[in-house]
Amino acid sequence: MIRQAARKTPVWPATQGLTLDNGKPALVLGIETTCDETAAAVVERQADGAGRILSNIVRSQNEEHAPFGGVVPEIAARAHVDALDGIVGAAMKQAGIGFAQLSGVAAAAGPGLIGGVIVGLTTAKAIAMVHDTPLIAVNHLEAHALTPRLSCALAFPYCLFLASGGHTQIVAVLGVGNYVRLGTTVDDAMGEAFDKVAKMLGLPYPGGPEVERAAAGGDAKRFAFPRPMLGRDDANFSLSGLKTAVRNEASRLTPLEPRDISDLCAGFQAAVLESTADRLSVGLKLFQEQFGPPRALVAAGGVAANQAIRGALQAVAADAQTTLIIPPPALCTDNGAMIAWAGAERLAVGLTDTMDAAPRARWLLDENATAPAKFANTRAKL
């Protein structure tokens, strides 16, 4: 049967009567085009929930966007159009299967840059229609939330720290399609803040890894940067003020010497780490109060590939007496396998979509999430 009552995230009308509880493994093609990676993958999900990646092809658009210091939506959409058919073909060839063997076709239907989302979802619809295969319109955030279950045997419920270029959230993952947002950024996403700091300091794009590299040789104590939201009883994040503090120090020191850049990056990263640890500690406390002990603290999204942040998360998990789980770096950044896996997870409980599923630039993972009163007009409402 189709699960309806427990579902928290909005889905498009589900195909009635579909179930995969037949003991057979499901093969799902996943397509990811929400930002600046064009990706496709095939995963296999066994009836017992075990997963296996058969292929995972990712084409980065870093070269196209590097001259602009950030992602240009129009360029991203055109690059997806040019590359996607070939990447889907490569993923299918590497998996060693034909389209007729697929149990479903999944595509990220949002949130993301709408041009790219349209390209991926339209392609998935075409494949599903031609081969009479179920379509699954996946929330990109749900894909991040479920990815740990692809890389290890993890039961619900668990606490998710999602940190990427567009999102910074703490989420209670209670089941497939069942999510409660415990905290979110009220301004910049964490990955966005790293990229903006890199740009203001003249570091190459993409900026996150460059800031991490520069910070490794810097003095984190040279600058007294603020620790945003420290000590608050909610689990929300704010990074705009910290980013401004870095800009002010950089302007004061202009022209910047290499040592200045390293010290600024180290101070910025240290402030992010301390603030993140505090916010996550509160988030885990809220999780415990509402849902009991989490099975694990899970980190996902591109920022989870930062080694310094991983170390801070390990300390938070240890303090909370829970396990830290972080997928392999290749599954933290945007990729097709996470979309395919989310599609397989949804397919297993009978959640599929019709051909009128629409692309969405914005799509809350928790449809009941509301912004705190003081942040009603900020990004916390998204």
CA angle 124, 130, 136 (to 5 degrees): 35
Higher pLDDT, 91 or 3: 91
Question: Residue type for 146, please?
Answer: L
Higher pLDDT, 21 or 232: 232
Among residues 280, 347, 379, 369, the alpha carbon closest in space to that of 47 is found at 347
Ramachandran class of 208: left when φ > 0, alpha when ψ lies in -120 to 50, beta otherwise: alpha
φ, ψ dihedrals at 366, nearest 5°:
-105, 105
Kindly tell me if the per-residue pLDDT of 49 is higher than 90. yes
Whole-angstrom distance, CA of residue 277 vs CA of residue 274 = 5
Kindly tell me if the per-residue pLDDT of 19 is higher than 90. no
Share of the chain above pLDDT 90, in %: 83
Whole-angstrom distance, CA of residue 243 vs CA of residue 58 = 30
Q: How confident is the model at residue 15 (pLDDT cuts 50, 70, 90)?
A: very low
Residue pLDDT, tens place only, 301-315: 888 888 899 999 999
pLDDT of 306 reads 87
DSSP secondary structure letters along 266-311? HHHHHHHHHHHHHHHHHHHHHHHHHH-S-S-EEEESGGGG-HHHHH
Whole-angstrom distance, CA of residue 351 vs CA of residue 2 = 6
Residue pLDDT, tens place only, 327-375: 998 999 999 999 999 999 999 999 999 999 999 999 999 988 887 666 6
**Average of pLDDT values for 44-71?**
94
- Pseudo-torsion of CA 154, 157, 158, 159, nearest 10°? 160
Q: How confident is the model at residue 20 (pLDDT cuts 50, 70, 90)?
A: very low
**Helix, strand or coil, per DSSP, at residue 193:** helix
Residues 41, 343 contacting (CB under 8 angstroms): no
Strand-strand pairing, 37-45 and 26-32: antiparallel
Give the least confident one: 12-16, 100-104, 233-237, 364-368: 12-16
Whole-angstrom distance, CA of residue 225 vs CA of residue 299 = 25
Give the least confident one: 18-32, 39-53, 125-139, 359-373: 18-32
**Alpha carbon of 243 to those of 28, 246, 271, 297: distances in Å?**
41, 5, 10, 27
Whole-angstrom distance, CA of residue 144 vs CA of residue 94 = 23
Kindly tell me if the per-residue pLDDT of 10 is higher than 60. no
pLDDT of 374 reads 67
Strand-strand pairing, 104-110 and 297-300: unpaired
Q: Identify how many contiguous H helices and E strands the chain contains and give both numbers.
A: 12, 10
**Average of pLDDT values for 15-38?**
76
First to last CA, the chain: 32
Residue pLDDT, tens place only, 154-202: 999 999 999 988 899 999 999 999 999 999 999 999 999 999 999 999 9
Residues in the chain: 382
Q: How confident is the model at residue 267 (pLDDT cuts 50, 70, 90)?
A: very high
Whole-angstrom distance, CA of residue 105 vs CA of residue 126 = 10
**Helix, strand or coil, per DSSP, at residue 139:** strand
pLDDT of 381 reads 57
Whole-angstrom distance, CA of residue 13 vs CA of residue 351 = 9
**Helix, strand or coil, per DSSP, at residue 161:** strand
**Average of pLDDT values for 311-329?**
94
What are the strands, taking DSSP E only, across the chain?
26-32, 37-45, 51-60, 104-110, 135-139, 158-163, 168-175, 178-184, 297-300, 324-325
**Average of pLDDT values for 227-240?**
95
| Average pLDDT score over the chain | 91
Burial class (CB in 10 A: 0-12, 13-18, 19+), 284: buried
